[in-house]
Amino acid sequence: MNNTPDPTAMTPIPVDRMPLGDPIPLNARRKPRKGTGRVAVAIYAAIVAGALGVSAASEPTTPVANEGPAPQPTVTVTAKPAPAEPKPAVPQVCLIALNQADKGFSLASETMDNVQGVFKAIETLDFDAATPYLNKQETVNEKLHSLAPMYNNSKAQCREAAK
């Protein structure tokens, strides 16, 4: 790895050498003109209206005599839909897995609340204020550790039932 400085890289200007005042001279600034936004919208609307007018004017409104009779409207006949197949019942083990997943998400939400409380305590350097959140998180961790194997078991049984 080469430690020589890149000659093309920009070097920062020391604070004591920074130019003071506005870097753009006052006479170089463009002042917005009043009403330019409305004029632009009017021009755009005129262009769109002109384009629509041209396309509408280019289409004949009456049939030409040499084209023959006007086409007749078609009637679409739809077949009756087939009777719906009954929905397969959700296996009970899948419902159990979903309930356990809901509990897991709830515990994850509690974890985020506890983490937020700990960060606020650390931010204010009040480490004693973090203790209640850490105690709550220990309870949440115990619940998660007991829930995880049950959920994984239910999840596997649900997938097996779906085969």
Residue 26: which residues within 8 A CB-CB, separation 6 or more?
A: none
**Is the pLDDT at 125 greater than 70, yes or no?**
yes
Residue 86 counted as domain residue? no
**Is the pLDDT at 156 greater than 90, yes or no?**
yes
Residue 146 counted as domain residue? yes
Residue 116 counted as domain residue? yes
Q: Shortest CA distance to 91 belongs to which of 149, 163, 152?
A: 163
Residue 127 counted as domain residue? yes
Residue 132 counted as domain residue? yes
Residue 14 counted as domain residue? no
Residue 157 counted as domain residue? yes
Output the DSSP codes for 65-131.
Answer: GGG-SPPPPP----PPPPPPPPPPPPPHHHHHHHHHHHHHHHHHHHHHHHHHHHHHHHHTT-GGGGH
Greater pLDDT, 106 or 13: 106
pLDDT for the residue 85: 77
Q: Are 158 and 94 a contacting pair, CB within 8 Å?
A: yes
Q: Are 90 and 158 a contacting pair, CB within 8 Å?
A: no
Number of compact structural domains in the chain: 1
Question: CA–CA distance from 117 to each of 113, 130, 139 (Å)?
Answer: 6, 7, 15
**Domain, as residue range, for 98:** 92-162
Lowest mean pLDDT among 47-56, 99-108, 126-135: 47-56
Query: Per-residue pLDDT tens for 51-73?
Result: 555 444 445 555 555 566 667 77
Quote the mean pLDDT of the chain.
74
The pTM of the whole model exceeds 0.85: no
Residue 17 counted as domain residue? no
